[in-house]
Homo-oligomer: A and B are copies of this chain.
């Protein structure tokens, strides 16, 4: 599982890897119901920081913070993010292979229509993704190398699946790592699952971001975002009409893409591997 690190950020002096941790907590069955953080976490540290006058718009739970503190310490000692992540996955009983796209510093920078440049978490968490996104920059991407295991995972896969994500914000930073796009272009099958339901994302700013970046609306925009990369696009039942209207080389499949529970996720993944 290759995960975006463009959202990584230093908050309260600790290295937050929001996407890596969300995937990790989810696979460990411990994800918070809000879509981030650890389930039933407490907020004693941020509340105490708040009492000391620290701006605490970024609500990092105590357990979540412990993960970040552990990561920060080991990164400072010079260990690569990928091996820290592998150790944490093991400690949490996660057996899937979980790899950051790169061990190097790659940061998504949001350029707003006002010409401001925001760090990802500032845009997403602090300002609640209300700014219109005019352009994305992936700082550090040209020098970044794929983390150990990333290219092998693509090459060895029966099918590469791009999970239902915000294409520009969560997948483009992975594609920006030199070598990843090439490997995907050579893969036999790359299946993207659309994040849209009736043309809209369940949550988050996917449609808005795609629109202000100049992509077409709906699944045509998802296709455009993954242009040259994917062989298959799975759209939700609500968007079945797209399967008929979209043209090109990409095969469009219709499925129930709303995954409520872990066992449904397993069934859906098996379905993706059996796509015609």
Contacts and interface: CB of A to CB of B under 8 A. Distances in A.
Secondary structure at the A interface, as helix, strand, loop or mixed, is helix
A54 B70 contact: yes
Contacts of A45: 45, 62-63, 65-66, 69
Nearest to A42: B44
Per assembly, the copies of the chain total: 2
A52 interface: yes
Given A13-B76, A62-B62, A76-B13, A70 B44 contact: no
A211 to B, nearest CB: 37
A interface, how many residues as a size bin? 20 to 34
Interface in A36-62: 42, 44-49, 51-54, 62
A186 B153 CA distance: 73
Contacts of A48: 62-63, 66-67
Q: Among the interface residues A46, A48, A67, A73, which one has the most CB atoms of the partner chain B within 10 A? A: A48
A91 interface: yes
A252 B69 CA distance: 50
A42 B70 CA distance: 18
Nearest to A70: B52
25 contacts: A12-B69, A13-B69, A13-B73, A13-B76, A42-B42, A44-B62, A44-B63, A44-B66, A45-B45, A45-B63, A45-B65, A45-B66, A45-B69, A46-B66, A47-B66, A48-B67, A49-B69, A51-B91, A52-B66, A52-B67, A52-B87, A52-B91, A53-B91, A54-B73, A62-B62
